[in-house]
Amino acid sequence: MPPWNRLGRQLAAAVLTTGLVTGAAAAARDRASIDETFTAKAADLRGVAGHVHVRLHDGPGIRLKAEGPRSWMGELSRRTERGTLVVTAGSLSVASSGSSVNIASGFGARAVSQIGGFTLSSGDQGEDDLPEVELWVPRGTPLTATGMVGDWEIGDLKAPVRLDVSSGRVTAGAVTDGDLSVHGGGTVAVARVDGDLDADLAGAGGITVGGGKVGMLKASITGTGSIRVQAPVERADLSISGIGSIDVDRIREEPTVRVSGLGTVRTGSR
């Protein structure tokens, strides 16, 4: 090989390596993280998007770890109100697969990433660049999460939860009272509910409860989704407007049922 060709290749490799290193350094500079602990006995997450994990720990208080684009982190508000940790995120544009749902609940964006069953737009960010949030709480900590977007995993809190999903996939372990809603598109799967259950679905998606023992069940659908409750239920008020379906394995008392449209309600033996 002529020496000038060899020299040219070496120079090209050096330029490429420099570009990669510079790009990685720039990406690192564009991200930020926090690791904070709060004296609080309940958590309220508002508009948090990305990959979110709610885990259990034995320590006191609530620990919040988060990493994401610097602009998103800069807008992430954290404060305590009357013993509750309130976390509020900035804006995020979401296009749900199979629908035209656009929701403001994270950082603003243009590029598109696929997470589970939905598409997440996030300003020149890939899926690996989306926010990563970890919330560490003691067992028994009540949780409220509204405007939920992304993949959420929630442990066995054994406490009341209120979950309002805009787009994405949410799984949770054992809870006591459950207030579950899907507005737009998304799914919620709870392993166990021991208490009252309010399940509300507007749009497309699904809510599933795998076990436990439910006192009062209120289930309503407006649209095409489905609600499935495999836990035994004492009393139930079930309503559908549209073509959705409600399935309850067992209800002890005669339920109140209202159906408008082509929806179906199926209940097991009492």
233-257 pLDDT tens trace: 999 999 999 999 999 999 999 999 9
- Mean pLDDT value of segment 20-37: 69
Lowest mean pLDDT among 12-16, 114-118, 172-176, 242-246: 114-118
- Alpha-carbon distance of 162 to 199, in angstroms, equals 10
| pTM, full prediction | 0.80
Task: Please check whether residue 232 lies inside any domain of the structure.
Answer: yes
CB 90 within 8 A of CB 77: no
Instruction: Tell which residue, 106, 268, 117, has the closest CA to residue 184.
Output: 117
- Alpha-carbon distance of 178 to 194, in angstroms, equals 8
Task: Please check whether residue 17 lies inside any domain of the structure.
Answer: no
Query: Measured between alpha carbons, how far is residue 26 from residues 10, 22, 87 in Å?
Result: 24, 6, 28
Instruction: Tell which residue, 118, 132, 112, 172, has the closest CA to residue 52.
Output: 132
Task: Please check whether residue 140 lies inside any domain of the structure.
Answer: yes
Task: Please check whether residue 209 lies inside any domain of the structure.
Answer: yes
How many residues appear in the chain? 270
Q: Is 191 exposed, middle or buried (0-12, 13-18, 19+ CB in 10 A)?
A: middle
Say which CATH number the domain at 195 has. 2.160.20.120
Number of domains in the chain: 1
Query: Measured between alpha carbons, how far is residue 128 from residues 30, 38, 47, 123, 124 in Å?
Result: 13, 28, 19, 13, 11
Residue 269: pLDDT band (50, 70, 90) is low
Task: Please check whether residue 111 lies inside any domain of the structure.
Answer: no
- Alpha-carbon distance of 178 to 199, in angstroms, equals 8
What are the two backbone dihedrals, phi and then psi, of residue 48, each rounded to the nearest 5 degrees? -80, 130
Question: 216 pairs with which residues across the strands?
Answer: 235
**Pairing assessment for the beta strands 112-115 and 84-88 based on DSSP bridges:** unpaired
Quote the tokens at residue 250: 């067992």
Task: Please check whether residue 257 lies inside any domain of the structure.
Answer: yes
199-239 pLDDT tens trace: 999 989 999 999 999 999 999 999 999 999 999 999 999 99
Which helix (H) or strand (E) segment is 12 a member of? helix 3-29
DSSP 128: G
Task: Please check whether residue 42 lies inside any domain of the structure.
Answer: yes
Confidence at residue 36, expressed as pLDDT on a 0 to 100 scale: 98
- Alpha-carbon distance of 47 to 72, in angstroms, equals 12
Residue 127: pLDDT band (50, 70, 90) is low
- Alpha-carbon distance of 137 to 140, in angstroms, equals 8
In terms of residue numbers, what domain contains 250?
A: 32-67+76-89+131-267
Task: Please check whether residue 169 lies inside any domain of the structure.
Answer: yes
